[in-house]
Amino acid sequence: MTETTGKSAGRTGRPRAKDDVRERARELRRQGLTYNEIKAELGCSKSSVSLWVRDLPKPQPRCTPEEQRARMNAGLAELRSAQDQERRAARQAAADAVGRLSERDLFLTGVALYWAEGTKSKPYRRSEALQFINSDPDVIRLFVRWLALLGVTPDRLTLRLSIHESADVRAAEAFWADVVGVDVSAFSKATLKRHNPRTVRKNTRAAYHGCLVIYVRRSAELYRRMEGTWYGIVLGAHSTS
């Protein structure tokens, strides 16, 4: 009858396969690997690694705190770069899906945009005229393109800048004139917002150009058309359900 030789032998007298994994884990621990690194290397559980190597001294860090922070920052930068690429790809795919707008598409888009951002007539303040204010250059470009579709010529536009008094008014007017495609002389006197020292503003950098106000003269008929179309959009949306 064969006699077992030591704790590492099983009942059959042969060494167990797990003993080899245990010895390898101890060897890797002596080389300075962490529990997670040993787990990944050997494909075993972290609790098993802890049991096998807990009597061994904890390895010294393989890098300084500064190097650890540098590695962490590099990892975060790589993650943010990947996220930015994913956002750009999703945005581009969505933009490509839109394609070229028909005149009807542009008309309905402009009506919805105006109803969301434009000045509207109220029962207590009748004002059937198109007036629009916004700080987004792309929104302004789309609005101007919509006005052109409606047959509004540049000479019917009154442009006015609304901006904080601490900003560069001339530079902002030049910026918006380029966006709209008119001369700076088309602007009326700017409306300056008084500075409140208690307010912490974020829009103080060179990219801040204030808001552009666009007023369309002789636009009562266009306003009524826009308003009626908006309610037509609302009714049309309900009829699809």
Q: Are strands 157-164 and 191-193 parallel, antiparallel or unpaired?
A: parallel
> 0.85 exceeded by the pTM?
no
Rounded to whole angstroms, how far apart are CA atoms 30 and 53?
A: 9
| C-alpha atoms less than 13 angstroms from C-alpha of 55 in its C-beta half-sphere | 3
Is the separation of the CB atoms in 141 and 108 below 8 Å? no
Q: How far is CA 57 from CA 16, 27, 29, in A?
A: 26, 12, 9
Rounded to whole angstroms, how far apart are CA atoms 137 and 128?
A: 25
Q: Which of 222, 128, 132, 224 is nearest to 180 (CA)?
A: 132
Q: Is residue 109 classed as helix, strand or coil in its secondary structure? A: helix
Reading the chain (241 residues) residue by residue, the pLDDT tens digits are 444 444 445 555 555 668 899 999 999 988 888 888 899 999 899 999 999 999 998 887 777 778 878 888 888 999 999 999 999 999 999 999 999 999 999 999 999 999 999 999 888 788 899 999 999 999 999 999 999 999 999 999 999 999 998 889 999 999 999 999 999 999 999 999 886 655 554 555 678 999 999 999 999 999 999 999 999 999 998 876 6
